[in-house]
Amino acid sequence: MKNVTLHTLSTLKRDGKKFAVLTAYDACFAQLVSEAGVEVILVGDSLGMVLQGHDSTLPVTLDEMVYHTRSVANGNKGSMIMSDLPFMTYGTPAQAMASAAALMQAGAHIIKIEGGAWLAESISLLADRGVPVCAHLGLTPQAVNRLGGYRVQGRDRDSAKQMIEDAVRLEQAGASLLLLECVPSLLAGEISRAVDIPVIGIGAGPDTDAQVLVMHDILGISPGRTPRFVKNYMAEADDIRGAIQAYADEVHSGAFPTAKHGFE
């Protein structure tokens, strides 16, 4: 696969083609994911749960994200690497720039941050300084204590309107990508049409421009209850490589997700 860039992803959206995003946290899996044609590898702070055994992403540190980003960069074969800024490492624009610099120097091509319009100033400053940003709306796991748990967001008229406004505002500020987590499928489709930048969904229905899942979920090895937006690709695969390839193929073809993987 040729090196994936923001231009690549924008062209896919323009042409109505889907792209795939999958987490990875080390060099071996990064190579498998990129060789399967997954356009974007997410080095997610989800590592706090699937690797470290925490009950949330909050304990993950910036140093840990730098370590795993560097490991993924060492194994990557052409995918774009997107890395999360962890909890409370981007509370101010100055802090966001310092934290983003650490991840970019470790090998990230774009950073992801959770939050609404309050992030506009930080996103604008980062973009002006050459740091691409993916803005994360909907269920933002770092705010799980404020949200009262892992709940679908945007189900009422006011919150849906606010999410649309936030998406447009963050695009205007300079966000290069948008990620929607656990929002009603119809709302996700509306937001995807309201912005020009590519929109990635997880639990956001089939009408976003891309899909992301956690690698441990598609391999069926995550502990606890399986969210409805997850599909276990190991159930019908001969090996891990085949499961990752099946995920990428189904996202590209539009076979995943189906209506049953989304929310009303």
Active-site position among 39, 181, 190, 236: 181
- Cis status, amide bond into 257, omega within 30 of 0: yes
Report angle CA 154, 157, 160 to the nearest 5 degrees.
35
Burial 21-51 (b: 16+ CB within 10 A, else e): bbbbbbbebbbbbbbbbbbbbbbbbbbbbbe
Is residue 190 annotated as involved in ligand binding? no
Residue 116 class from Cβ within 10 Å (0-12 exposed, 13-18 middle, 19+ buried)?
middle
112 in a known ligand binding site = yes
Which residues are CB-contacts of 39 (< 8 A; sequence separation ≥ 6)?
4, 8, 9, 12, 19, 20, 21, 79, 80, 210
84 is in an annotated binding site: yes
CB 41 within 8 A of CB 33: yes
181 part of the active site? yes
Distance CA 253, CA 145 (A): 37
* Residues 42/127, Cβ–Cβ less than 8 Å: no
Q: Can you tell me which residue has the tokens 């074969």?
A: 77
Residues tagged in the binding site annotation for Mg(2+): 45, 84, 114
Residues tagged in the binding site annotation: 45-46, 84, 112, 114
Q: Which residues are catalytic?
A: 181
Residues tagged in the binding site annotation for 3-methyl-2-oxobutanoate: 45-46, 84, 112
